[in-house]
Amino acid sequence: MYERSKKKEEFMKKFIALILSCIMSLSLVTIFSSCKNKKLSGEKNLNHQFIYTETDKWLIKDGQTDYKIVMPTTISAELGYAKDELVRIVKEATGVTLPVVTDAGKTHTENVKYISLGETSLLQSSGITINKEKLHRDGLRIITKDDTIYIAGGSDVAVLYGVYDFLKIHFNFETYSYDCYTLDKNVKAEKLLNFDVTDIPDIQYRQRRGTMNPSTQEIDDQMFAYRMRSLDAYGNLMLPIHTGHTINSPVKSDHNSLHYLPKEEYEKAHPKFYSSDGSQLCYMARGDEAERDIMTTKCAEKIEESLRFYPAEEYPQYIAVQLGIMDMAPLCNCNACEDFAMEHEGAKSATIVRFMNEVGKKVNDWMALPENAAYARKNFQYMFFSYADASVPPFSIEEDGTIHIKDDVKPIEGVNVVPFCAMSGFDYGKPFDSETNQQPAEYFSAWGKVYKNSWAWSYGAFFNDYMMFYDNYSFYSDYYKFLKENNYIFTFPQIQDDQRGAYTGFFTLANYICSKLAWNVSLDVNDLIDAYFDAMYKDAADIMQEVFTEYRLWFGVQTAKQGWSSSSTSTTVSTAPKYWSYGFINGMMIRFDRAYEAISVYEKDAELYTALKHHIDMEWLNPAYVAICNYRDYYTETEYSALKKNYKMLIGELGVTRIREFVSIDSTLESL
């Protein structure tokens, strides 16, 4: 977008030759090995069976249809979304508006043409059985019987996901961003398909994050998280724990152990409840068994209090409760805690596991009382953070699968204690199977094998620098397969979770890949990347892939040069000259000029051109910010002012809100 002199272009050519020479001399194979060479397991994934054949009948013929959508008489919001999305997207693809009727007085009939959504009277009379236990909440079936297509699932939101599968199969509907999806258009004829589709997510619960939280009232923005099948928030799945003893007091669902036993309420009478430095609980009560029994009772009563606040029938979404260690604070190092850890593989988590077993047992006993039937929850999980000092499991597993675990930390039958594993020890900038990640992967695997249905929290961004690219692709390409193999049911890839409006640094791509792999771990990352670039950039796809690849090379060089490791996620990169050269940034800006030129062929289609330009604009923000912060002297006053003006304008147009995690971008814009 900015003209550059021939002198600058010659500088760039010399820079490319130099950087290629440097790259050839570095061992960067591991940076790309997972994405370019590794193959996902060839084992058939039975969760995703897309079986269908073409019939000699028509769904749509000559731009018309005899099909109607049938809905239950009473519908949920999610079922309403399923109907609206089906009507809206079929109309966009074909020009046909599908009529909608209720199931009142209707049963399955051989020659009647319906698309049945959810638990209609047609489905109930069809003889089709939907195994909801196997499907869980989000799994779906698409089945054709006679002339009727049935889309059903474990819940109404699963029906919506079934609609998306139906649209993908018939019209190539695929979503990449809140303002970008692919869809066949001007379809005038489409055969009826004989469906026998089963599609069950490999990871049962998938966190909504970042820009999947809508910033506008636009339909595509509002539906983006649904289309990415990432609707969960761990706080919405966990029973709220209140800081006080009323339902109106503040809620803390994650790092909340001191809210169970607030110091102002208990410390004077029970000082042994707290760790040696007072920042955590002491899960051993300093070795005082009587005090520890009081602690577990008080914590159980806190959970019981919330179970009364939120009866199961009224609040069925709460499947777990967390008693989580406080963040950024060491666990207790009193003699009792140290000694107990040494008896259990040196793992401080042992004190928490035993504590949670006892708390869970007390709550289960309370729920089993007849007078508490309204508050009882089936398969309720008692969760603790396997994080920081509590990362190491208190047991060992041999290569043949033999588990060595002492009775006092062994899972109790019927008490569903599970870890929420937040492995900060992973280096998310290296391949998942790299030597660096071997130890944390072993811990992660061990937790999942002993505690079925564990939860996972992961990272992979510069949290102090939201303008910056971070190469987490080699890590996440294998991560989700690992979660599935080790019995994890929840995933939260935090990356740039706090950002709203738009990302830069290709985090829209990272968001897309994480969402797709969490649903189906068997997908090929390279195919996903290629499809993303084709959809998001059209004629500029190859150029933008060059930009992406150059950033991956840059990240690999800096990883080797700076010794970046798991702690590098706290680094601020954009404003530090040591990570950059003008030649690299100028070369990036030249590539962006080429990308903008490549999409100029779409200028007559204002809506499409604006969308494509904004997709490029998002990534332009990254090198532009580096240039503004580090290379003032390389621009004329006019060029530099124009650069800053465009940067500020695009931040506003795209709706970017954060410069770093939890920090608004406003003050940064004011300082430029």
Please state the separation of Cα 92 from the chain's center in Å. 29
Query: Cα separation of 364 and 381, whole Å?
Result: 10
Cβ atoms within 10 A of the Cβ of 255, count? 17
Secondary structure (3-state) at 108: coil
| Average pLDDT, rounded, for the chain | 94
Give the Å distances, CA to CA, from 591 to 547, 555, 596, 620. 7, 18, 9, 10
Interval 466-497: pLDDT, tens: 999 999 999 999 999 999 999 999 999 999 99
Interval 62-92: pLDDT, tens: 999 999 999 999 999 999 999 999 999 999 9
* Higher local confidence (pLDDT), 591 or 34: 591
Cβ atoms within 10 A of the Cβ of 309, count? 16
Q: Is the pLDDT of residue 30 over 60?
A: no
Q: What is the mean pLDDT of residues 148-176?
A: 99
Instruction: Give the position of tokens 């209609």.
Output: 120
Considering only CA atoms, which of 386, 390, 393 is closest in space to residue 419? 386
Using the 8-state DSSP alphabet, how is residue 411 labeled?
Answer: P
Interval 418-461: pLDDT, tens: 999 998 899 999 999 999 999 999 999 999 999 999 999 999 99
Give the Å distances, CA to CA, from 587 to 20, 182, 309, 451, 617. 13, 31, 59, 50, 16
Considering only CA atoms, which of 286, 118, 136 is closest in space to residue 203? 136
CB 465 within 8 A of CB 572: yes
Angle, vertex CA 604, rays to CA 599 and CA 607, nearest 5: 80
Considering only CA atoms, which of 332, 315, 329 is closest in space to residue 251? 315
Q: Is the pLDDT of residue 13 over 70?
A: no
Residue 138 amino acid letter: D
User: By percentage, how much of the chain surpasses pLDDT 70?
Assistant: 94
Angle, vertex CA 477, rays to CA 567 and CA 237, nearest 5: 75
Total count of residues recorded for the chain: 672
Q: Phi and psi at residue 466, in whole multiples of 5°?
A: -75, -5
637 burial via Cβ count (<10 Å: 0-12, 13-18, 19+): exposed
Tokens of 574: 């954009």
Q: Phi and psi at residue 32, in whole multiples of 5°?
A: -110, -5
Secondary structure (3-state) at 382: strand
CB 116 within 8 A of CB 100: no
CB 303 within 8 A of CB 359: yes
Query: Cα separation of 351 and 340, whole Å?
Result: 7
Nearby residues of 410 by Cβ (< 8 Å), 6 or more positions away: none
Interval 609-668: pLDDT, tens: 999 999 999 999 999 999 999 999 999 999 999 999 999 999 999 999 999 999 999 999
Q: Is the pLDDT of residue 6 over 50?
A: no
Q: What is the mean pLDDT of residues 357-377?
A: 98
Considering only CA atoms, which of 633, 669, 635 is closest in space to residue 650? 669
Considering only CA atoms, which of 596, 494, 484 is closest in space to residue 547? 596
Q: Is the pLDDT of residue 280 over 80?
A: yes
CB 236 within 8 A of CB 317: yes
Question: What per-residue confidence (pLDDT) applies to 347?
Answer: 98
Cβ atoms within 10 A of the Cβ of 488, count? 27
Angle, vertex CA 54, rays to CA 49 and CA 57, nearest 5: 135
> Which of 22-26, 104-108, 369-373, 596-600 shows the lowest per-residue confidence on average (mean pLDDT)?
22-26
- DSSP bridge pairs for 116: 70, 150
Angle, vertex CA 547, rays to CA 612 and CA 510, nearest 5: 75
Query: Cα separation of 597 and 605, whole Å?
Result: 15
User: Largest Cα–Cα distance in the chain?
Assistant: 83
Sign of the Cα torsion 199, 203, 205, 209 reads: negative
Tokens of 654: 């795209």
Question: What per-residue confidence (pLDDT) applies to 8?
Answer: 43
Q: Is the pLDDT of residue 184 over 90?
A: yes
Instruction: Give the position of tokens 């005899």.
Output: 66
Question: What per-residue confidence (pLDDT) applies to 133?
Answer: 96
Using the 8-state DSSP alphabet, how is residue 576 labeled?
Answer: -
Read off the pLDDT band of 43 (50, 70, 90).
low
Give the Å distances, CA to CA, from 141 to 76, 130, 391. 19, 8, 38
Question: What per-residue confidence (pLDDT) applies to 45?
Answer: 85
Buried b vs exposed e over 540-562: b needs ≥16 C-beta within 10 Å?
A: bbebbbbbbebbbbbbbbbbbee
Query: Cα separation of 580 and 573, whole Å?
Result: 9
Using the 8-state DSSP alphabet, how is residue 487 labeled?
Answer: T
Query: Cα separation of 174 and 531, whole Å?
Result: 10
Nearby residues of 20 by Cβ (< 8 Å), 6 or more positions away: none
Query: Cα separation of 68 and 98, whole Å?
Result: 6
Interval 98-139: pLDDT, tens: 999 999 999 999 999 999 999 999 999 999 999 999 999 999
Buried b vs exposed e over 97-129: b needs ≥16 C-beta within 10 Å?
A: ebeeeebeebebeeebbbbbbbbbbbbeebebe
Query: Cα separation of 140 and 161, whole Å?
Result: 7
Query: Cα separation of 158 and 372, whole Å?
Result: 32
Going along the chain from its start, the domains and CATH numbers come out as 6-41+535-671 (no CATH), 48-200 (3.30.379.10), 234-378 (no CATH)
